[in-house]
């Protein structure tokens, strides 16, 4: 596993890249990772993702409360979703949250987004062929993080492709490492664009 300094820098590179792609408008989106000891680090609230630095990560406990030297710092409003995902999937170490446009367009008025026949489907963990259908769950938006704790627990079996979409909000993707989490997020965005372009 990477050192804390290496992981922070790798996350910064990814976050700035995604910001440049338009995936984090204004101060939106949030990102987290676990360090070598299993400590959760999450991005602070209200920061410009184009200018994120190593000082913009803070530690939280398993319930999303700021810890240590950061107790007076406000974590991202959706830290609870990250913590729920870490509880549901103990093997993962990175969670990425995007506000990419195409997944939201593809998910309009749907309970899931289906992909079928696309080669890039194999970017999802556990998918080894373009044949067959891959379904990504879509959940309603909500300001109460307890809502997501419950709905993710209830729908854990539907999260086998390591991502989901929140209506008119954004996407979450995760993995055992940053490379895997990025692969899941980028696969979802690409396929969502293909489906939206195909159906418009």
For the residues 21-27, what does the mean pLDDT come to? 93
CATH topology classification for 4-199: L-fuculose-1-phosphate Aldolase (3.40.225)
As to burial, measured by CB atoms within 10 angstroms (0-12 exposed, 13-18 middle, 19+ buried), residue 135 is middle
Question: What pLDDT does 79 receive?
Answer: 94
Distance CA 195, CA 193 (A): 5
- In tens, the pLDDT along 80-114 reads 999 999 999 999 999 999 999 999 999 998 999 99
Question: What pLDDT does 63 receive?
Answer: 93
Cα atoms in the 13 Å half-sphere on the side-chain side of 30: 21
Question: What pLDDT does 76 receive?
Answer: 83
With 0.85 as the threshold, say if the pTM is over it: yes
Whose CA is closest to 52, among 82, 85, 10? 10
Q: Over the chain, what is the mean pLDDT?
A: 94
């Amino acid at each position: 596993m990477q050192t804390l300094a290496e992981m922070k820098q790798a996350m910064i590179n990814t976050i700035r890249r995604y910001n440049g792609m338009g995936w984090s408008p204004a101060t939106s989106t949030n990102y987290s990772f676990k360090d070598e000891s299993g400590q959760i680090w999450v991005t602070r609230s209200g920061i410009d993702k184009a200018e994120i630095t190593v000082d913009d990560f803070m530690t939280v406990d398993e319930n999303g409360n700021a810890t240590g030297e950061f107790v007076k710092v406000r974590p991202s409003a959706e830290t609870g979703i990250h913590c729920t995902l870490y509880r549901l999937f103990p093997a993962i170490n990175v969670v990425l949250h995007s506000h990419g446009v195409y997944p939201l367009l593809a998910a309009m008025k749907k309970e899931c987004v289906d992909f079928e026949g696309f080669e890039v489907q194999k970017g999802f963990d556990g998918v080894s062929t373009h044949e067959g259908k891959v379904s990504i769950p879509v959940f309603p938006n909500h300001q109460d993080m307890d809502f997501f704790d419950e709905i993710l627990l209830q729908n854990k079996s539907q999260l086998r492709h390591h991502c989901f979409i929140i209506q008119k909000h954004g996407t979450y993707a995760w993995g055992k490492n940053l490379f895997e989490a990025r692969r899941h997020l980028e696969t979802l965005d690409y396929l969502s664009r293909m489906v939206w372009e195909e159906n418009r």
